[in-house]
Amino acid sequence: MTITDESLSYFSISFGLVLIDKELPYDLYINSSTHAKRERFVCITRKNSSVSTEELHTFRDKYYQLYIREDQRDLYLKSLTLVENSDDSEKASVIKDSAIKYLQTIFERDHEFSNELLDETIEGCKDSVESMVDVIQDYDILEVQKLIVDLSFHDFYTYDHSINVAMYSISIMKALKPEASRHDLVMAGMGGLLHDLGKVKIPTSIINNPGKLSDEDFGIIKKHPNYGLELLNEHHCEHAEINFDIIKRVVGEHHENYNGTGYPNQLEGTDISVFARITAIADFYDAITTKRSYHEVLSTEDALEVMSRSVGRKIDPRIFEVFRKNVNVMLDGKSHQELPDSFDPCQPQNVLPLAKAAPKIQRSDFINKDKDDFGKVKADSNKKKKAS
């Protein structure tokens, strides 16, 4: 056994998510101290060795908890897909905790935002999203929703919501493009996870306010897409496997409405990145179906009915139709309410601002009118004038 450097940090892991009879890509530790303030981590199994079922049972009997060094978190995340006979919700919980850790790195206000900080966060987020893809790439929307329901939530709405949006975005992309590459799925998840990046420049008191915002505070909130773009443009990062053009467009366009009434640039239709249009639907659905302490949620059927009344206005009709079919729930008119185009899914709500619905526009009118290829990321050059 080897006693470790006290300056290093560690995180606990589940016994059930340790690789069995396979080469470990990480070191395993225990905390040999009985005093919380005097932790003393000892390495019990070195990287590149293996652990048998019998050895793991011995560990369970002898030790209260197993640990891994923080600098090996990415290796642990990548190993999860190799763990057999474990529940996906347990894997998803680990992935969520890791994603929260990376989001906290940039949202905590006790340090200066820097290129190194953003670079570290982007890399960590990519590791988390790749692990999400491994777990949920064959899930339909309802299976993702059930997984989300099984996960605990954090007291900072932005963290949970961003992670949920990432998971839904992966599934929507898969439904939209069944042949989607792993890169497409990871980029959809990355866009969802980082779509609210600009909120690092918004006061926490406004971000976490579940009540009705004043016009002044809502005006501040509406700046976050441009703030996010500024951060990405000012703090240049390079990762060969990440398409930053996609992430920038999601960050800057996820509040653009399909009919051109959104913000910050009033883009419309397919001038909005397909990844941003996917994020917008994931954003909307999670906000009205995920149980929080702030408000009662809508059933799946009612949520889809409410969303359908925003088709062609707030959300893309063709992507929504694919989304609805993937959920496999027929719209039966049970809910006669709608949400305004100004509804901000990224903001916690004490009460959803539902109002009596106006007559519904036929979705087929929109679907037949607009037939883009959905694999297109950049708008045509003659369609960019609204963004300038």
| pLDDT tens column, 327-378 | 876 556 556 788 888 788 878 888 888 888 776 555 444 544 444 544 444 4
Task: State which of 86, 119, 134 marks the end of a domain.
Answer: 86
Q: Is residue 383 part of a domain?
A: no
The answer to whether 324 touches 300, Cβ cutoff 8 Å, is no
Share of the chain above pLDDT 90, in %: 63
Task: State which of 86, 108, 142 marks the end of a domain.
Answer: 86
Q: Is residue 220 part of a domain?
A: yes
| Domain identity same for 101 and 79 | no
SS3 (DSSP) at 323 = helix
Give the span between the Cα atoms of 67 and 350, in whole angstroms.
39
Whether pLDDT at 379 is above 80: no
| Alpha-helix runs per DSSP H in the chain | 53-62, 73-79, 88-107, 115-136, 141-150, 157-176, 182-194, 204-207, 215-221, 224-234, 244-253, 274-289, 300-308, 317-327, 363-369
| Domain identity same for 80 and 6 | yes
CATH number of the domain encompassing residue 237:
1.10.3210.10
The tens digit of pLDDT for each residue in 169-207 reads 999 999 999 999 999 999 999 999 999 999 999 998 898
| Domain identity same for 14 and 103 | no
| Domain identity same for 72 and 186 | no
Range of the domain at 44: 1-86
* For residues 90-97, average pLDDT: 94
| Domain identity same for 71 and 179 | no
The answer to whether 379 touches 271, Cβ cutoff 8 Å, is yes
Judge if the upstream peptide bond of residue 225 is cis by omega within 30 degrees of 0.
Answer: no
Give the span between the Cα atoms of 56 and 372, in whole angstroms.
53
Sign of CA dihedral 237, 242, 244, 245: positive
Question: With bands split at pLDDT 50, 70 and 90, how would you rate the model's confidence at 228?
Answer: very high
Q: Is residue 388 part of a domain?
A: no
| Domain identity same for 103 and 72 | no
| Domain identity same for 16 and 142 | no
Indicate whether this model's pTM tops 0.75. Answer: yes
Q: Is residue 219 part of a domain?
A: yes
| Domain identity same for 173 and 263 | yes
